[in-house]
Structure 1
Amino acid sequence: MNAPTNTPVTPIPFNAEGPQPLLREIPKGEPYPVEALGPLREAVEAVADITQAPVGLAAQSALSVASLAVQGLADVETLGGDAPCSLFCLTIAESGERKSTCDRLLMKGVRDFEAEQETEYREEYEAFEVAHKIWTEKRKRLISEAAGAKREKATAAEADLRAMGPEPRPPLFPKLTAMDPTFEGLMKLYGIGRPALGLFSDEAGGFIGGHAMNSDNRLKTMAGLSNLWNGEPIDRTRAGDGAKTYRGRRLAAHLMVQPIAAAPLLSDPEARGQGFLARFLMTEPPSAIGTRLRRDHAPHSRSKVEAFRNCALDILAMDLPTDAHPQELTPKRLTLSPAARELLFRFHDAVEASQGRGGEFETVRAYASKSVEQAARIAGVFALWADPLADLITPENMAHGISLSQFYLGEAKRLSDAGAITADTAKAEELRLWLVEKWTHSEIMPREIVQFGPNPLRESKAARAALAVLEKHGWLTRLPEGVEVRGATRKEAYQIVRPQHVL
């Protein structure tokens, strides 16, 4: 055994690593599979051409409008039973991405239909008021006669009462969409209007941050909207209104929201745990801002958008399938062709395997478990948009539905992973970006954050919590008490660490 040597050990110099990232980098999303949009592709490409917006924005609007138009006509067969052809879409995009312009172009058929129906509604309502007044007065007279007359006349009055028939019903309120209602407001619209409606908003931050989704109402709203997505009856019991059951209702949805407003929803454990978010086809398309330098668009693009508008009008004008009650849908059944069913089974098996331990979608099982049904729903929308009288899902419909469902599942994983952060970390990241991008000084004091900083940090407690996170991760260094900053001694101040390569 050799004796130990006394060779000195050369110390390894310490090199500071610099600030550490608060969030892991969000991977870039896959390109939108526009080739899988089937009968919607031409309209989507035309709107993207006209607006120079990301194609994903136009695709979300087209899908949701098509779903709104066809959802009342049929339910689609899935591997787990029949499901509505209703789609919920969530689009995340910054202000200036032209999401409102895309939506306005593709919603034109819906808005024109509402305007036409409103004119008819006013005329029909005037006739209803006259008929209802006559019916009411006649009923009062017959009740009075039946109550005060002798038996023979009373019996005749009772017979006339029975022969009057049911009370005249008002025409259905023509509004197809609601922007930011409470769930009770949506139910009231179902009570007076059409059985197939849409929840559409190009500024859905008001809905997400409003009364319907506050701490008192969030669970109720999410549960109610989830039941509508499922196509289940909705029971409502309220003082003054009594108990009501809304059967045969359908709801499509498209919520367009800025990232800062979407973050609380994506990180909400109740929204994730309840499976509410998993019902949405969500995407955050890559920004096109700074690249929109072309001055014109293809000559045929306007005609493609007009064709989409005309198709929406034609489908919306069709009679909805109802039985005795005009507000309770009895949709027909879209069945899967054998080849379409085989494609869906293969997709099911692949998604099921990916949810296992270590699988690609282990962390987003709620989304993955619904992706097979989402594929069937999308296929149903395509089939009915191309032919409202269709009763069969073709292999082409299903292949397109599967391709889109795969894309949205990938987006759900990407955005869900990014959303799985605490509120404190999100605020700290917002402060970090503000400090390195907008604050021009080398030092910062808590009161300056409260006075000038991002809105969520305009109170001392929130500002100090964010400061603590940034100090821990090396983005701030606390200066000694009494240090002079901007001409005065300071009790608490921080040096901002700005690496040459900002993470």
Structure 2
Amino acid sequence: MSAVLNPVNESVEAAAQVAGGWPVLDPLIDDQPTMPDAFPFHAMGPVLGDAARAIAHDVQAPDSLAGGSVLAAAGLASSPLANVVMPHGQRSPLSVFVLTGAGSGDRKSAVDAVACHEIEETRKQQARDYSAQLANYEEDMAARKGSKEPEPAKPAPKSITTGNATIEGICKLLKFQSSVGVFSAEGGEMLGGHSLRDDKRSSGLAFFLKGWSGESLDSLRGGEGLTVLLGRRMSMHVLVQPVLLRQLLCDPLAQGQGLLARCLIAEPQTLAGHRQYRQVNPHENEAVVVYNARIRHLLETPPTYWPEGDGYELKPRDMHLSMDATRLWIAFYNLIEAQQADGKELDGARPFASKAAEHAARIAGIITLATTPDAKTIDEKAMDGAIQLTGFYLSEHLRLTGSGRQDRQQSELRTLLEWMQKYDRPLLSKKDVLQKSPRSLGRKAPRLNPLLEELARRGYIREAGKDWEVRDV
């Protein structure tokens, strides 16, 4: 009976409030999880896009999980070979940092087993080669007992990827190789690893920023002294539980130092409960076979090194944008820049937005090499696809961080209203609102007045002389 009377009582109360001079209430939007956009497989080009779509279909995995894994693998294979030269002359590596949130049972490992197959095969072969070299070294050392001849150099381990390495460990790897991928299907290992713990977090994040930019990597250790590594490339592909992704997105240091601005972040909807058994081997899909052959070709292509370097300092070839690609890139750059102005959609996401054009240039280079490995020019089609992919990740960044203008305004309105409703009395002085409202809202008239006006327009508050009257709802 009470369930029947509740709507009636609410209607009577609302009518009484309207009769008391209050307007009809225009409720704030409830906090509802928004759906991600569909991942634009077509934008990745025929080699990467067809493979990513096939993996998502055959493994029955979320779209951006498959798309991100393929993009990361192609970036790792491409980055030693070329740089993209943007219209203003800046050279940028083809390295990408891909961070995807997916829960247990979303088939993260199954996707990676297909998308990163050739990379994993390379890693295994490197491990076998090192084991054989170490055995030969130990035999040689045993045979040299008592010999005065110079000892042979101890072989150095090599690994194209590492899942949970310290900064020092990555530097040790890169001392004897040119590139590395921080790849992990269990991102908690990487995000909670030694180099990103609280006491080392700032220096750890700074190291990854340098790796993304292709800058020199420095390591100073008591036993080994100063190591300066030039011309190296670092890629990242981390699959992480959504709860850990949320922690990272809320980390002020990761945001402030710029790691999040350099990551292509997505969190797709789970497909759990909608995956009937399918008799199919994803590795045998024709699109995946073509893709794996291309990744293998890129991995086996010898990179170019600086003659005067340490033997591992890369000298990637330059890839320039065609005239049409340049036109598209400049238009995208200008559009994103305009949207960062105060009050525009991207004014709360400036760190990522300011990197969007560079993300697009890098992705365009990766698409180009996956399509034409010896290409020296990025064409309009590759750039158009890269801009679409960057747009997808920009939308995901806004969705997951709540930094879009509408999301931000709704959050600020709710914060202010809840604070005002905590007062026992219906009247709240305008002076108190300016001086005592939540610090996150700025406590300044230019920030608060538009929020107060919106709450008044919606019928939650109204002016009463020098006070604000708060509606009893």
TM-score bracket for this pair, using the shorter chain length: 0.7 to 0.9
1:35-58 superposed Cα distances (whole Å, 9 cap, x missing partner): 101120111111111111111110
Distance across 2 between alignment mates of 1:419 and 1:268: 18
How far is the alpha carbon of 1:225 from its aligned partner? 0.3
Partner residue, 2:211? 228
- The CA distance in 2 between the partners of 1:335 and 1:262, in whole Å, is 35
> Is 2:395 the partner of 1:410?
yes
Cα distance, 1:382–1:133 mapped onto 2, change above 3 Å: farther
Distance 1:190 1:69 in 2: 16
Distance apart, 1:172 and its partner CA: 5.5
Alpha-carbon deviation of 1:388? Answer: 2.4
Alpha carbons 2:55, 2:282 under 8 Å: kept: no
Q: How many angstroms apart in 1 are the aligned matches of 2:372 and 2:142?
A: 43
Q: 2:84 aligns to what?
A: 76
Check if 1:397 corresponds to 2:406. Answer: no
CA contact (8 A) 1:229 1:251 kept: yes
The answer to whether the 8 A contact 2:114-2:283 is kept is: no
Matched with 1:345 is: 330
Specify the alignment match of 2:165 in structure 1. 181
* Structure 2 equivalent of residue 58 of structure 1: 66
CA contact (8 A) 1:49 1:297 kept: no
Give SS of 2:235's match.
strand
Which 10-residue stretch deviates more, 57-66 or 315-324? 315-324
User: Is the counterpart of residue 203 in structure 1 residue 216 in structure 2?
Assistant: no
1:85 to 94, 103, 120: 94
Instruction: Tell me which residue corresponds to 1:375.
Output: 360
The equivalent of 2:124 in structure 1 is 115
| Pairing of 1:94-173 with structure 2 (within 5 A) | 94-124=103-133, 173=157
**Is contact 1:46-1:301 (8 Å) kept?**
no
Q: How large is the RMSD of aligned CA atoms in angstroms?
A: 3.2
The superposition leaves residues 92-148 of structure 1 with CA deviations (integer Å, 9 ceiling, x where unpaired) of: 11111112110111111111122333444444556667889999999x67xxxxxxx
Deviation string, structure 1 residues 387-444 (Cα, Å, up to 9, x no partner): 22211111111111111011111111111118999xxx9xxxxxxxxxxxxxxxxxxx
Q: Secondary structure at the match of 1:97?
A: coil
- Give the residue type in structure 1 aligned to 2:120: R
Q: 1:132 to 1:353 in 2, by over 3 A?
A: farther
User: 1:365 deviation in Å?
Assistant: 0.4
The separation in 2 between residues aligned to 1:45 and 1:236, in whole angstroms, is: 41
Relative to 1, partners in 2 of residues 1:259 and 1:119: Cα closer, same or farther, differing over 3 Å?
closer
Q: Which shifted more, 122-131 or 231-240?
A: 122-131
Rounded Cα–Cα distance in structure 1 between residues aligned with 2:49 and 2:271: 20
Aligned residue in 2 for 1:278: 261
Match of 1:259 in 2: 242
Q: 1:31 to 1:239 in 2, by over 3 A?
A: same
Q: Is the 8 A contact 1:128 1:170 kept in 2?
A: yes
Kept after mapping to 2: 8 A contact 1:26/1:418: no
Indicate how the Cα distance of structure 1 residues 136 and 334 shifts in structure 2: closer, same or farther if over 3 A, else same.
Answer: farther
Alignment of 1:357-372 (within 5 A): 357-372=342-357
Aligned equivalents of 1:419, 1:203: Cα separation in 2: 29
Letter in 2 for 1:349: N
Contact kept? 1:180, 1:206, Cα under 8 Å = yes
Please report how far the alpha carbon of residue 347 of structure 1 lies from its aligned counterpart in structure 2 after TM superposition.
Answer: 0.3
**Cα contact 1:172–1:194 (8 A) shared by 2:** no
| Offset of residue 329 of structure 1 | 1.0
Query: Pairwise mapping of residues 331-480 of structure 1 onto structure 2 (< 5 A)?
Result: 331-417=316-402
Which residue number in structure 1 is paired with residue 49 of structure 2? 41
Q: Distance in 2 between matches of 1:403 and 1:252?
A: 21
Give 1:449's aligned residue.
none
List runs of 5+ in structure 2 lacking aligned partners.
Answer: 1-14, 21-26, 412-473
Q: What residue in structure 1 maps to residue 424 of structure 2?
A: none
- Is the 1:47–1:301 Cα contact (8 Å) retained in structure 2? no
Identity %: 34
Instruction: Work out the number of aligned pairs and report it.
Output: 384
CA shift in 2, pair 1:105/1:21, >3 Å:
farther
Deviations 1:368-394 (A, max 9, x none): 000000000001111112222211111
CA contact (8 A) 1:364 1:413 kept: yes
CA displacement at 1:199 relative to structure 2: 0.3
Is 1:291 equivalent to 2:299 in the alignment?
no
What is the SS of the residue equivalent to 1:217?
helix
Query: Secondary structure of 1:198's partner?
Result: strand
- AA at the equivalent of 1:289: A
Q: Tell me, in whole angstroms, the C-alpha distance in 1 between the residues paired with 2:404 and 2:236.
A: 21
Deviation at 1:227, TM superposition (A): 0.4
Change (3 A) 1:190 1:35: same
Native 8 Å contact 2:282 2:288 kept in 1: no
Cα separation, 2, equivalents of 1:127 and 1:379: 44
Change (3 A) 1:292 1:240: same
Contact in 2 for aligned 1:50/1:301 (Cα 8 Å): no
Tell me if 1:218 matches 2:201. Answer: yes
Does the aligned pair in 2 maintain the 1:271–1:277 contact within 8 Å? yes
Per the normalisation by structure 2, the TM-score is: 0.74
Where does residue 35 of structure 2 map in the other structure? 28
Give the structure 1 partner of residue 461 of structure 2.
none
For 2:282 and 2:58, locate their aligned partners in 1 and report how far apart those are by CA, in whole Å: 10
Deviation, 1:212, is 2.2
2:286 to 303, 327, 343: 303
Q: Distance in 1 between matches of 2:394 and 2:233?
A: 23
Unaligned runs of at least 5 residues, structure 1: 1-9, 15-19, 142-163, 426-503
| Aligned partners of 1:205 and 1:262 also within 8 Å | no
- Flag the structure with larger Rg: 1
Q: Is the 8 A contact 1:46 1:304 kept in 2?
A: yes
Give distance in 1, aligned partners of 2:153 and 2:172: 16
Contact 1:49-1:298 at 8 Å conserved across structures: no
Of 225, 233, 242, the match for 1:250: 233
Distance 1:36 1:233, change over 3 A: same
Closer, same or farther: CA 311–78 of 1 in aligned 2, 3 Å = same
Number of the residue aligned with 1:7 = none
Q: Residues 132, 409 of structure 1: CA spacing in aligned structure 2 closer, same or farther, 3 A cutoff?
A: farther
